[in-house]
């Protein structure tokens, strides 16, 4: 198999990014770890994010994806390794800290306040004001205009920025949150499972906005458990399993099939094959799973 | 071919209609206070018919006064509910404020304005403590303020008896500054021969100020966000804890204004008063369209809710009915207004 892992050494010495040929990464993590009491949530994770690139973090439930983004977004602090922004070591104490460093996070479930109008959501926490002293007030018209314009630029055609954002579809809401992050000068955009709760068509819409954000020069961290969503838009892929990195690839070094196989894992597939066998009657599926398991096994032997 | 060529031009307006704009009437119906407004109009017409004296200007001034004593508190309570929290201690906190001013001035024989200033500090402190405990413990505000309610009830009675020696605070009418304080907090203004109590003007001013803050300032945006989805608000950098503590303190301020009125309208306070009033303030806010779950509502709505309350309260007397009916009437109004709110909101949002 030809899935070649990115040489961690090269990245860590800040020599040269194989993709952009810039010496310093926008955001980089070096052997970062985190534990809650005696439970190790994350261990030995190394990854990098660059301008105009999409770094995908893949993993099943409980793989440590949310712990990873919580560290980058400033909700939790890591206790091992280093987190660098533009080559400078940082440790965020609050989400505000991370925001100020140019890291914007779009959460799957809490991206917006549903009952508030779209334009108020767009500017929430960073409202534009006009006037001085006690007469300082919201610049409503300007905020509405900017919201409309920014969303139109992202290709979202909205009826009315005054309607509650809860009335939009899940995909549209994600897009408003992405547009908001882009407008407020985010350099790194973290997307936490933006497609998890969406249908096929809506997912496609969100993936398109991820590419739009990338084309605007943002470094995107795309967290997902779906390799079919990650592969078309990603430039690098970090695979997590049980809190550990099990692979870090460039797009040219890996295929969708290999990515899927790595995600599923040989042992799990073998187990599934065994279960199917004991149930009986699923001959065709059984053969498929067995073949898949064998392929994964062979590959992991090869890479070792 | 011809049909495919005409199809796009035929479909364009259909799509436009789907994303078409709402009529002004619909956006008016989408306002939080519309249910209360309908209720207020119905009630006004009803009492105008059954009680002819209701329409006399002097009666109307009395109705407004009754509304203002609920409305001043409803302003703060409505803001707090939009911010997603409750306060059950408001009723007795009003009396606590009045007792503080009265007992302190009386005991030390100070100018009453010193007591008034101290009462303001105490009222704000009660609000701050409520909000601070809430933020630190993350307990529901229902529990926290219920505890404050009980503690303040006990303190009001115990301290009044301990210091003043009776269930009612001693008279402060002879102290310095009493006349000027009464002029500020409990006087009446004569407009076209009608005596209008000064609280009515405070009420209107506070409603206008609260509306402006809510709709046109950053803090207002934060209040809606803190009540609508505190986690989302925090994630985009809204100081949720500070906002909520500030809201509790705003309620404290409203309580101080009303407490001072209660004190200076006479010259003493009954220490056992105020219990149960907290529900009247919450009812006014709910009738006015504030959601119990937070994130939705308006200051004007709370004012209309208070006005409904005032009309029902005095209207029953003008109609020469037995005032025993008042509570029943209030419950019915609450139920009807919230149902109307629900229906109107749902219908407006569907379109």
Question: What tens digit of pLDDT does each residue of B80-113 get?
Answer: 999 999 899 999 999 999 999 999 999 998 899 9
- Distance in Å, alpha carbon of B224 to nearest chain A alpha carbon: 7
User: A111 pLDDT exceeds 90?
Assistant: no
Q: How far apart are the first and last CA of chain A?
A: 11
Q: Annotate A189-209 with b (16+ C-beta within 10 A) or e (fewer).
A: bbbbbbbeebeeebbebbbeb
Q: What is the rounded distance in angstroms from the CA atom of residue B309 to the CA atom of residue A125?
A: 36
Residues of chain A positioned with their CB less than 8 A from the CB of B235: 95, 105, 107, 110
Q: For the whole prediction, is pTM greater than 0.90? A: no
Q: How far apart are the first and last CA of chain B?
A: 36
A137: Cβ–Cβ under 8 A, 6 or more apart, which residues?
A129, A130, A131, B212, B216, B217
Task: Give which of A252, A228, A223, A253 is closest to A238, Cα–Cα.
Answer: A223
pLDDT digits (tens, 9 = 90+) for A32-61: 888 888 888 888 888 888 888 899 998 887
Give me the pLDDT at residue B244, please. 95
Range from A84-88, A266-270, B260-264 that averages highest in pLDDT: B260-264
Pick from B232, B290, B345 the residue to mutate for testing the A interface (most A CBs within 10 Å).
B232
Contact between B261 and B199 under an 8 Å Cβ cutoff? The reply is: yes
Q: Residue B319: which region, alpha, beta or left (left: phi > 0; alpha: psi -120 to 50)?
A: alpha
Place of tokens 């037995």: B322
Structure token pair of residue B96: 């606590």
**For residues B20-40, average pLDDT:** 70
Closest in B22, B212, B237 to A125, CB measured: B237
Closest in A111, A120, A136 to B232, CB measured: A111
pLDDT digits (tens, 9 = 90+) for B154-182: 999 999 999 988 888 899 988 999 999 99
Q: Which DSSP symbol is given to B324?
A: G
- Distance in Å, alpha carbon of A229 to nearest chain B alpha carbon: 25
Q: Residue A53: which region, alpha, beta or left (left: phi > 0; alpha: psi -120 to 50)?
A: beta
ipTM for the predicted complex: 0.78
Give me the pLDDT at residue A77, please. 87
Contact B295 A107 (CB under 8 A): no
A159: contact with B, CB 8 A cutoff: yes
User: A17 pLDDT exceeds 80?
Assistant: no
The average confidence (pLDDT) of chain A is 79
Range from A198-202, A204-208, B48-52, B141-145 that averages highest in pLDDT: B141-145
Does residue B32 or residue A53 have the better pLDDT?
A: A53
Give me the pLDDT at residue A21, please. 55
pLDDT digits (tens, 9 = 90+) for A232-274: 888 989 888 888 888 888 888 888 888 887 777 655 666 777 7
pLDDT digits (tens, 9 = 90+) for A147-204: 988 888 777 777 688 888 888 877 788 888 888 888 887 888 888 888 877 777 778 8
**Residues linked to residue A129 through DSSP beta bridges, in sequence order:** A138
Give me the pLDDT at residue B15, please. 38
User: B308 pLDDT exceeds 80?
Assistant: yes
Q: What is the rounded distance in angstroms from the CA atom of residue B345 to the CA atom of residue B297?
A: 12
Q: With bands split at pLDDT 50, 70 and 90, how would you rate the model's confidence at B1?
A: very low
Q: What percent of chain B has pLDDT over 90?
A: 51
A90 burial (CB, 10 Å; 0-12 / 13-18 / 19+) is: middle
Give me the pLDDT at residue A15, please. 43
Structure token pair of residue A117: 């109008």
Give me the pLDDT at residue B18, please. 42
Q: What is the rounded distance in angstroms from the CA atom of residue B302 to the CA atom of residue B325?
A: 23
**What are the distances in angstroms from CA B32 to CA A79, A137, A262?**
48, 22, 53
Other CB atoms within 10 Å distance of the CB of residue B246: 21
Q: Specify the pairing of strand A188-192 against strand A27-36.
A: unpaired
**Residues linked to residue A106 through DSSP beta bridges, in sequence order:** A191
Q: What is the rounded distance in angstroms from the CA atom of residue B348 to the CA atom of residue B351?
A: 6
Give the DSSP H or E segment for B201: helix B198-216
- Distance in Å, alpha carbon of B96 to nearest chain A alpha carbon: 30
Q: What is the rounded distance in angstroms from the CA atom of residue A233 to the CA atom of residue A208?
A: 9
**Judged by CB atoms within 8 Å, which residues 78-107 of A form the interface with B?**
95-96, 99, 105, 107
Place of tokens 């009666």: B59
Structure token pair of residue A299: 């590959």
Q: Calculate ∠ Cα A120-A122-A124, nearest 5°.
A: 60
Q: What percent of chain B has pLDDT over 70?
A: 89
Contact A115 B295 (CB under 8 A): yes
The average confidence (pLDDT) of chain B is 86
Other CB atoms within 10 Å distance of the CB of residue A84: 17
Task: Give which of B331, B335, B329, B287 is closest to B312, Cα–Cα.
Answer: B329
Pick from B26, B82, B235 the residue to mutate for testing the A interface (most A CBs within 10 Å).
B235
Other CB atoms within 10 Å distance of the CB of residue A96: 17
Give me the pLDDT at residue B37, please. 85
**What are the distances in angstroms from CA B104 to CA B68, B118, B270, B336?**
27, 8, 15, 44
- Chain length of chain A: 304
> Taking CA atoms, what residue in B is nearest to A130?
B217
């Amino acid at each position: 198999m030809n899935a070649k892992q990115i040489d961690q050494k090269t990245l860590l010495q800040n020599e040269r990014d194989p993709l952009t040929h810039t010496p310093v990464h926008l955001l980089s993590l070096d052997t970062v770890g985190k534990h809650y009491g005696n439970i190790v949530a994350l261990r030995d994770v190394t990854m990098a994010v660059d301008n105009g690139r999409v770094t995908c973090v893949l993993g099943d439930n409980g793989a440590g994806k949310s712990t990873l983004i919580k560290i980058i977004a400033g909700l939790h602090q890591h206790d091992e390794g280093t987190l660098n922004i533009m080559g400078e070591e940082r440790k965020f104490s609050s989400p505000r800290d991370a925001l100020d460093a140019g890291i914007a996070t779009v959460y799957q479930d809490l991206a917006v306040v549903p009952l508030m109008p779209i334009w108020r959501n767009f500017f929430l926490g960073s409202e534009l004001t006009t006037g001085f002293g006690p007469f300082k007030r919201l610049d409503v018209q300007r905020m509405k205009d900017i919201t409309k314009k920014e969303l139109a630029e992202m290709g979202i055609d909205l009826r009315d920025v005054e309607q509650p954002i809860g009335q939009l579809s899940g995909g549209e809401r994600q897009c408003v949150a992405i547009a908001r992050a882009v407008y407020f000068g985010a350099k790194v955009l973290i997307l936490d499972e933006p497609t998890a709760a969406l249908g096929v068509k809506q997912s496609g819409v969100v993936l398109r906005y991820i590419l739009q954000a990338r084309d605007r020069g943002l470094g995107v961290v795309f967290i997902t458990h779906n390799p079919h969503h990650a592969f078309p838009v990603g430039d690098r892929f970090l695979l997590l399993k049980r809190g550990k990195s099990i692979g870090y690839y460039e797009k040219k070094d890996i295929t969708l099939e290999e990515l899927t196989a790595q995600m599923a894992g040989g042992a799990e597939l073998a187990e599934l094959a065994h279960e199917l066998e004991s149930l009986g009657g699923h001959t065709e599926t059984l053969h498929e799973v067995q073949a898949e398991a064998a392929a994964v096994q062979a590959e992991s032997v090869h890479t070792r | 071919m011809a049909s495919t060529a005409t199809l796009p031009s035929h479909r364009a307006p259909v799509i436009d209609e789907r994303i078409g704009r709402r009529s002004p009437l619909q956006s008016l119906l989408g306002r939080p206070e519309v249910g209360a407004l309908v209720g207020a109009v119905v009630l006004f017409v009803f009492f105008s018919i059954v009680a002819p004296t209701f329409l006399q200007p002097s009666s109307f001034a009395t109705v407004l006064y009754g509304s203002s004593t609920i409305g001043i508190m409803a302003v703060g309570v409505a803001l707090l509910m939009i911010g997603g929290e409750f306060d059950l201690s408001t009723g007795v906190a009003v009396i606590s404020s009045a007792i503080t001013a009265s007992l302190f001035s009386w005991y030390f024989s100070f100018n009453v304005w010193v007591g008034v200033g101290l009462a303001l500090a105490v009222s704000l402190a009660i609000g701050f403590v409520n909000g601070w405990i809430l933020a630190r413990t993350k307990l529901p505000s229902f529990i926290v303020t219920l505890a404050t309610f009980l503690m303040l009830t006990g303190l009001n009675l115990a301290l009044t008896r301990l210091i003043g020696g009776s269930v009612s605070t001693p008279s402060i009418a002879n102290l310095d500054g009493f006349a000027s304080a009464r002029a500020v907090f409990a006087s009446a203004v004569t407009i076209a021969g009608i005596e209008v109590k000064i609280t009515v003007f405070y009420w209107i001013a506070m409603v206008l100020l609260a509306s402006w803050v809510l709709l046109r300032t950053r803090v207002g945006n934060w209040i809606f966000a803190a009540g609508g989805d505190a986690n989302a608000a925090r994630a985009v950098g809204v100081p949720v804890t500070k906002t909520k503590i500030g809201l509790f303190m705003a309620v404290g301020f409203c309580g101080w204004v009303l407490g001072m009125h209660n004190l200076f309208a006479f010259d003493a306070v009954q220490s056992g008063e105020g219990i149960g009033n907290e529900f009247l303030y919450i009812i006014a806010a709910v009738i006015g369209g504030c959601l119990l779950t937070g994130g939705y509502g308006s200051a004007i709505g709370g004012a209309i809710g208070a006005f409904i309350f005032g009309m029902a309260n005095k209207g029953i007397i003008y109609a020469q009915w037995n005032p025993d009916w008042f509570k029943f009437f209030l419950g019915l109004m609450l139920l009807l207004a919230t149902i109307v709110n629900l229906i109107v909101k749902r219908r407006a949002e569907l379109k």
